[in-house]
Structure 1
Amino acid sequence: MTTSSPALLGCIADDFTGATDLANMLVRGGMRTIQTIGVPNAPLDEPAEAIVVALKSRTAPREDAISESLAALAWLRERGCRQFYLKYCSTFDSTAKGNIGPVADALMEALDVSFAIACPAFPEAGRTVYRGHLFVGDVLLNESGMQNHPLTPMTDANLVRVLQQQTRQRVGLLRYDSVQRGVEAIHEARFALAAQDIGLAIADAISDDDLYRLGAACANDVLLTGGSGLALGLPRNFANAGLLPEAASAAQLPAIEGPAAVLSGSCSRATNGQVAHWREQGRPAFRIDPLALAANRPVVAEALEFARARIEHEPVLLYATSEPDDVAAVQQALGAAQSGALVENAMATIARQLRDDGMRRFVVAGGETSGAVVKALGVTSLRIGPQIDPGVPWTASLGTPALALALKSGNFGTPDFFSKALTQCEAVAR
């Protein structure tokens, strides 16, 4: 990307898999999309209508999250972007202090914005918002398993209340009654909220149609905040304005051949099911034990030996994924931060060694794990390709060697996601 071909949409995501999730949504809408790993030091050479800057700010100290997000905003403004998007998880992952609210406050101030909506809804993945309450499938957020998240436990489904604890803005609710009635009703509700000095408004949405209506109503907004679902209608806005050229090949990736591995650090309910499915099929799997890592046992060397003995014949799974009770026991013994860091460092070392061995295709489960792996692999930017499951596309790294990467949020994907992803990548390689 050069200054002669500016991007239209600049996005700031608070973790790596969330960034990929958002980029996937934009590609589906026909926008050629590049994802960068952190804030680049220079312009990009690849053409794109949308750029997603992936940060690792979801669980970072609040001031770090703010400064990194403002640096990303400055870089995106230099690229000529005319609209900006703060992307966070569809389960609104955060703590009582942030970082969703503080980062939104900082971006609003930098862009001189007095009102923005906040909508994490992603119905395709089972996340809906009604009367300001976030549901995961048929249960409230705090009953979905997210209450057991090791870093950002979500114990309250009332997002107006959650966000109000984090922001200096007054938080309101853009109710479903208005969203369902269409764009004009949404405009009227927004004006009414702004007149009450509401700065951020949680927006109800229970279907993709609701997200399209919200997107259309926000076509002229300088800043939007939400999960990836809210981005559904944004490509259409740019196309209607005559700004988005037809790009039938927006999701096209180069064929990348070579051995493949699955690296799973997430302990979410969905990823536990995916690991179990893989093992039930009798496919090769090696468990990374955080307690063994803490005891300085040669776990990484053993994992590499296991993988090297098999990858020429079939993909392997290397996983630290565990059930909630096991995770709690490890955290009690080591602390949440240390246990997480041990796993991330192990996965990063394994990925780097396997790449040096000639591995070119990786499926990675978990936002923190994905961030550690792409950093270890030296990946600085990705071209976004076709969707595997809602919220998860294949990507191809820019630069040499080219790597195929599927970076999966822990909560996403069907039970057979790992094998499905590898089958799809193999078909592209042919």
Structure 2
Amino acid sequence: MGRKQERLQEYGQERYQAAGLLLSFYGDDFTGSTDVMEALALNGVRTVLFLEPPAPEALAAEFPDVRAFGVAGVSRAMSPAEMQRELEPIFERLRAIPTPLVHYKICSTFDSSPEVGSIGRAIELASAVCPAQRCVPLLVGVPELRRYTVFGNHFAGVGAQTYRLDLHPTMSRHPVTPMDEADLRVHLSRQTDKTIGLMDILDLAGDGARVRSRLAERLAERPDILLYDVLDEERLKRAGELIWEAAGQGDNRVVFGSSGVEYALVAHWREVGLAAPDTGMLQPRGAVDRLLVVSGSCSPTTESQIRYAIAAGFAPVPIQAEKLVDPATADQERRRLTEQANALLREGRSPLLYTALGAEDLAIGATREKLAGTGHAASDTGKLIGEQLGRLTREVVADNRLQRFLVAGGDTSGFVMRELGIYALECLMPIAPGGPLCRGYAKDDRFNGVELALKGGQVGKADYFVRVLEGK
């Protein structure tokens, strides 16, 4: 028996294939969750993303050959109390489905705070549902997306530059969860009293025996959370191997992290024969003649995409966000935008609706002032704007029988999906890392089979919107 066959037996291939599943995950938003789905699907692991945890019998009946599934949420926009109400039943339902691993997906830029989207609180809730698990692995780096963790400090690339997280031009000035600390252990310690260990880049270097010895030493320190450094693909694969091995040794099912978790796992799965690149994605329609774009993102990356798309012929429609967050004017502003988008689509044009042109847009300050004047907290921004943009998207897609649309912004994407009643997504094709084109599943025939791209603020090059229109 060769070494590969021995490793397949060691990791229990027959048991996992019999169950038909390798992984389940809960995403912090739809954009982050599609990132996970893409990483798996590109490596031949058919994956479906749901709005709510599916019943096991429904999963088997509608998606019999699925090998991974996820649940998208909006927990990163929630307070700790809201997270508890949202996450406790979800963790319970995911625990009941026999996947070897349950992954809680967080943003690769770790944006969170004690008050909003607390990753520490989410770890506490998961640990309470799975009390037998002594230590929760945490992996945030994604070389594919130019996210790196080195000696516990996190870095992210923008253009040709790579920034420490507290100096990142977008994340250091995030309107809700600004990142003022690059050491993920320090940042996380503000959100939880759990102890945090580190498996650093030196621990992950060397042969398998040495790395496992260093892991044993780190675990002997009895941390509640173990952060993995990620600098390159080799260390990423090694981390995936360690996380997968631990999942096969007792109750070590829960892992926290970015889509780097999936990239780490599939790198290891390919090595042992559990995954292989193939044509696991569905096939898109190709180019469409019109595309609705709705952007709730204020990142510089999205700004460059908006400007590029307008120069390429998209019709700009600025959203007066300060009116959307005011109950007295929200419906009127949504109707105005809907009418303008419908008129442009009837002319055969692609309307591009946006709340801001980058982080310096004066509209952001006006929206904050309006929020304060109406008694809302800054953390309410995503919900108030997202709900209105979700209703707008539903009306425009239905009125024009659109085959494809695009949403920019994590919080916005989640609310749009809920408004359209889309209960599941599956990858069609990659457009940019972290922003694939997807197929939507819905009970309503007007939206069932619609193609959509959901992108986070940092995802894609300048021509991303045009590539979605052209299906490239």
Q: TM-score, normalised by structure 2?
A: 0.83
* 1:224 Cα deviation after fit: 1.9
How has the CA–CA distance of structure 1 residues 164 and 250 changed in structure 2, closer, same or farther, with 3 Å as cutoff?
A: same
How has the CA–CA distance of structure 1 residues 330 and 391 changed in structure 2, closer, same or farther, with 3 Å as cutoff?
A: same
Cα distance per residue 1:104-139 (max 9 Å; x no partner): 232234332112321211222221111111111221
How has the CA–CA distance of structure 1 residues 32 and 266 changed in structure 2, closer, same or farther, with 3 Å as cutoff?
A: same
2:90 corresponding residue in structure 1? 72
Bigger drift between 211-220 and 318-327 goes to 318-327
* 1:272 Cα deviation after fit: 1.6
Cα distance per residue 1:178-198 (max 9 Å; x no partner): 223354443222211211121
Bigger drift between 338-347 and 407-416 goes to 338-347
1:311 corresponding residue in structure 2? 345
1:54 corresponding residue in structure 2? 72
Cα distance per residue 1:303-359 (max 9 Å; x no partner): 222222232523221111243342134213324245434421331121111122112
Bigger drift between 234-243 and 71-80 goes to 234-243
| In structure 2, C-alpha distance between the alignment counterparts of 1:282 and 1:384, rounded to whole Å | 27
**Secondary structure in structure 2 of the residue aligned to 1:396:** strand
Which of the numbers 386, 392, 404 marks the counterpart of 1:344? Answer: 386
**Secondary structure in structure 1 of the residue aligned to 2:281:** coil
* 1:248 Cα deviation after fit: 2.8
Asked whether the equivalents of residues 134 and 159 of structure 1 are also in contact (C-alpha less than 8 Å), the reply is yes
1:192 corresponding residue in structure 2? 217
1:86 corresponding residue in structure 2? 104
Asked whether the equivalents of residues 105 and 168 of structure 1 are also in contact (C-alpha less than 8 Å), the reply is no
**Runs (5+) with no aligned partner, structure 2:** 1-16, 248-252, 373-377
| In structure 1, C-alpha distance between the alignment counterparts of 2:407 and 2:311, rounded to whole Å | 19
- Please show how residues 224-263 of structure 1 align to structure 2 within 5 Å: 224-238=255-269, 248-253=278-283, 255=285, 259-263=290-294
How has the CA–CA distance of structure 1 residues 214 and 338 changed in structure 2, closer, same or farther, with 3 Å as cutoff?
A: closer
**Runs (5+) with no aligned partner, structure 1:** none
Asked whether the equivalents of residues 121 and 205 of structure 1 are also in contact (C-alpha less than 8 Å), the reply is yes
2:468 corresponding residue in structure 1? 421
Which of the numbers 297, 310, 323 marks the counterpart of 2:358? Answer: 323
One-letter amino acid of the counterpart of residue 358, structure 2: E
Asked whether the equivalents of residues 6 and 79 of structure 1 are also in contact (C-alpha less than 8 Å), the reply is no
Which of the numbers 292, 295, 299 marks the counterpart of 1:268? Answer: 299
| In structure 2, C-alpha distance between the alignment counterparts of 1:128 and 1:283, rounded to whole Å | 35
1:124 corresponding residue in structure 2? 144
One-letter amino acid of the counterpart of residue 108, structure 2: S
**Secondary structure in structure 2 of the residue aligned to 1:389:** coil
| In structure 2, C-alpha distance between the alignment counterparts of 1:286 and 1:362, rounded to whole Å | 15
| In structure 2, C-alpha distance between the alignment counterparts of 1:207 and 1:22, rounded to whole Å | 18
| In structure 2, C-alpha distance between the alignment counterparts of 1:301 and 1:143, rounded to whole Å | 39
How has the CA–CA distance of structure 1 residues 189 and 60 changed in structure 2, closer, same or farther, with 3 Å as cutoff?
A: same
- Please show how residues 87-126 of structure 1 align to structure 2 within 5 Å: 87-96=105-114, 99-111=118-130, 112-126=132-146
Asked whether the equivalents of residues 154 and 165 of structure 2 are also in contact (C-alpha less than 8 Å), the reply is yes
Which structure has the greater CA radius of gyration? 2
Cα distance per residue 1:395-420 (max 9 Å; x no partner): 11124331111111112111111111
| In structure 2, C-alpha distance between the alignment counterparts of 1:380 and 1:264, rounded to whole Å | 21
Asked whether the equivalents of residues 287 and 320 of structure 1 are also in contact (C-alpha less than 8 Å), the reply is yes
- Please show how residues 269-308 of structure 1 align to structure 2 within 5 Å: 269-293=300-324, 294=326, 296=329, 298-308=332-342
> 2:174 aligned with 1:143, yes or no?
no
**Secondary structure in structure 2 of the residue aligned to 1:330:** helix
| In structure 2, C-alpha distance between the alignment counterparts of 1:19 and 1:224, rounded to whole Å | 15
One-letter amino acid of the counterpart of residue 199, structure 1: D
| In structure 1, C-alpha distance between the alignment counterparts of 2:186 and 2:136, rounded to whole Å | 17
2:254 corresponding residue in structure 1? 223
How has the CA–CA distance of structure 1 residues 143 and 397 changed in structure 2, closer, same or farther, with 3 Å as cutoff?
A: same
Q: TM-score, normalised by structure 1?
A: 0.90
**Secondary structure in structure 2 of the residue aligned to 1:169:** coil
| In structure 2, C-alpha distance between the alignment counterparts of 1:90 and 1:197, rounded to whole Å | 26
Asked whether the equivalents of residues 135 and 141 of structure 1 are also in contact (C-alpha less than 8 Å), the reply is yes
Asked whether the equivalents of residues 13 and 87 of structure 1 are also in contact (C-alpha less than 8 Å), the reply is yes
Asked whether the equivalents of residues 238 and 268 of structure 2 are also in contact (C-alpha less than 8 Å), the reply is no
* 1:380 Cα deviation after fit: 0.7
- Please show how residues 159-174 of structure 1 align to structure 2 within 5 Å: 159-174=184-199
Asked whether the equivalents of residues 59 and 99 of structure 1 are also in contact (C-alpha less than 8 Å), the reply is no
* 1:247 Cα deviation after fit: 7.5
Cα distance per residue 1:72-100 (max 9 Å; x no partner): 23323333212111110001011035521
One-letter amino acid of the counterpart of residue 386, structure 1: M
1:386 corresponding residue in structure 2? 429
* 1:258 Cα deviation after fit: 7.3
How has the CA–CA distance of structure 1 residues 57 and 161 changed in structure 2, closer, same or farther, with 3 Å as cutoff?
A: same
How has the CA–CA distance of structure 1 residues 416 and 79 changed in structure 2, closer, same or farther, with 3 Å as cutoff?
A: same
* 1:217 Cα deviation after fit: 1.8
| In structure 2, C-alpha distance between the alignment counterparts of 1:85 and 1:411, rounded to whole Å | 22
* 1:240 Cα deviation after fit: 5.8
Asked whether the equivalents of residues 290 and 469 of structure 2 are also in contact (C-alpha less than 8 Å), the reply is no
Cα RMSD, aligned residues only: 2.4
Which of the numbers 4, 7, 15 marks the counterpart of 2:29? Answer: 15
